[in-house]
Amino acid sequence: MSDDTAPDENWGQQFDRLPPTADDRVVEGRPSREEVVDWWEERFGVDPAVFDGYTFWEKGAGKIWAFHGEVVDPIKVEGLGMRILRTRQRHWKPSTNAVQRFCGDATKNVIELSPGEAKAFVNGHDQQLDWWEGDWGYLTAAHEIAGELEPLGVGLYLHGELRSTVPKGRQEELVKLD
Amino acid sequence: MRRHRPTGRRDWFGRSFSGDDANEAGDSDDADDSETDKRAPAESSVMNPLQRYAPLVDDEEAFFAACERPLPSVVRVNTIKTTVARAREALDDEGVAYEPTDWHPGVLKLEDSSPGTNWPYFHGWLHGQEEVSALPAIALDPQPGERVWDTCAAPGSKTTQIAAMMDDEGVLVGNDNNLGRLSALRHNAERLGVTNLVVSNQDARNFSMKPFGERTPEQSGSFEQFDRVLVDAPCSCEGTCRKNPDVLDEWTMNHVKSVAGIQKGILRRAVQVTKTGGTVVYSTCTFAPEENEAILDFVLEREDCEVVEWDVPDGFETAPGITEWEGDEYDPSVTKARRVYPHHNDTGGFFTAKLEVTA
């Protein structure tokens, strides 16, 4: 399958499994499974046990996918589980879908939005929220629904402003709420 | 009195479609009805395809009347991201009226046919799915950790239901030959939080197991056969006429014949890549025996498999598959397949058969 690519280079046409640890790394710049799991724990307090049974993959430079099963490595398919993280850049960026899926029990960097703020957030609006006293950078934006806090997506907090990164295709799903 | 559909109806996703030229041909007395003459000459010479099936149904009048009514909006609760209780609480909080179906606590009929969108939908707790299309996954009965292939997966309603039934764990291959439709599958799967899906873009009729390591059995994660396969085949779709009346105008016998060839090819390949003792479910949304029992009969003769009974949910009415149609006879075991007519449960029309692979 990978005859036409050397084992030590990243190749955008297939999914390559992440090495278990940095010591196992062959492809330059590719994060390890350990680094990815650690990142979710450090950033959001996600219990590493949440990812037991998951395999992690890179397709294209820095796009990391989580798959809840086992397949051969490498594999040439159109999709493998869920795109969870963008790496190979200074600040790793989580995806909206991954935060919704894995940050339900997040304990860190979760910004709770009021009903009005939540609505503006999922409609893609950036908001001045000076009351936030936590970290800057990528946050899990959440709101209360059916009695519990639930993640909405990823916000980028800088200089008192929460920027929404909710993709256009997901914004439409709330357009008619008013 | 003829019933007219309101114009400018909107579906769950807010897409509008005009209903004023809806299924006029749905009445049983249409053959000599002057209103049908309004159609273009080429069309008026074509019989309403639903008329073909009148001899098969128990109550013709109820059948044609149901086919003409618009379909209720139905959503399935996505248990990958929430529970049925919490999704219902969220709908209650927003004042969205719904009624659980008699046969499935996670399938909810919305009372307003144009609910727009709402918080539980945004969170991926709900998925708009026609009620009757929840049947094939129930017949398939996938288990956590298994290897399952959905041959014609896009846009993914049944695929994501299968993922939820697998507790989102194992290997679920969602395949479609149309790359454009695959993006809808990916979008739906990610919104619903599915993480056990492998998206593939092949012609299901000659589906290759090579990408999954068929030729390298020593490699970790490789496999060459599936535990279960769903063939939700492309078809002439008359069963969806309550949602999309155009299917009746576009219906031709030539299309039935050509799509039947595709159905045979996909079902044969499905049986070939399923392990002995494994399950293949064949489903369509057409009433045409040429696309249902005839396909089963064809594959039963050529591949190692048999039709088996499957547990239709309590409270859901079905009819057995048929063994005779327009001079053709089919294997007696096809009566174990289930036909669903729109008047039975106030749904779309459907056909579902369960096969067990015997060698």
Residues 6 or more apart in contact with residue A110 via CB below 8 angstroms? A44, A103, A139, A140, A141, A142, A149, A151
Chain segment B214-263, per-residue pLDDT in tens? 999 999 999 999 999 999 999 999 999 998 889 999 999 999 999 999 99
CA distances A176 to A65, A172, A173, B122, Å, are 32, 8, 8, 11
Mutate to test the interface with A, among B195, B209, B223, B224 (most CBs of A within 10 A): B195
Q: B97-106, B139-148, B270-279: which has the minimum mean pLDDT?
A: B97-106
**Per mean pLDDT, which range of B99-103, B169-173, B197-201 is the poorest?**
B99-103
Residue B47 lies in a domain: no
CB within 8 Å of chain B, chain A residues 57-116: 66-73, 75-83, 97, 100-101
Confidence check: pLDDT of B18 > 80: no
Catalytic-residue membership of B285: yes
Task: Name the residue range of residue B317's domain.
Answer: 132-357
- Work out the pLDDT band at B102, boundaries 50, 70, 90: confident
Contact between residue A48 and residue A36 where contact means Cβ atoms under 8 Å apart: no
Q: Domain tally for chain B?
A: 1
Proportion of chain B above pLDDT 90, given as a percent: 80
The answer to whether residue B56 sits within a structural domain is no
Task: Note whether residue B32 is domain-resident.
Answer: no
Q: Name the residue of chain B whose CA is nearest to A168's CA.
A: B187
B12 Cβ under 8 Å from any chain A Cβ:
no
Note the pLDDT of residue B151.
98
Q: What is the mean pLDDT of chain B?
A: 87
Give residue B72's pLDDT: 87
DSSP B70: P
Q: What is the pTM of this model?
A: 0.89
C-alpha to C-alpha distance for A58 and A85, rounded to whole angstroms: 10
Q: Provide, as residue numbers in chain B, all residues whose Cβ is less than 8 Å from the Cβ of A171.
A: none
Beta-strand pair A110-112/A137-145: parallel
What pLDDT, on the 0 to 100 scale, is given for residue B21? 31
State the distance between the two ends of chain A, measured CA to CA, in whole angstroms. 51
Of B93, B197, B219, Cβ closest to residue A81: B197
Radius of gyration of chain B from its Cα atoms, rounded to whole angstroms: 20
Here the CATH number for the domain that contains residue B246 is 3.40.50.150
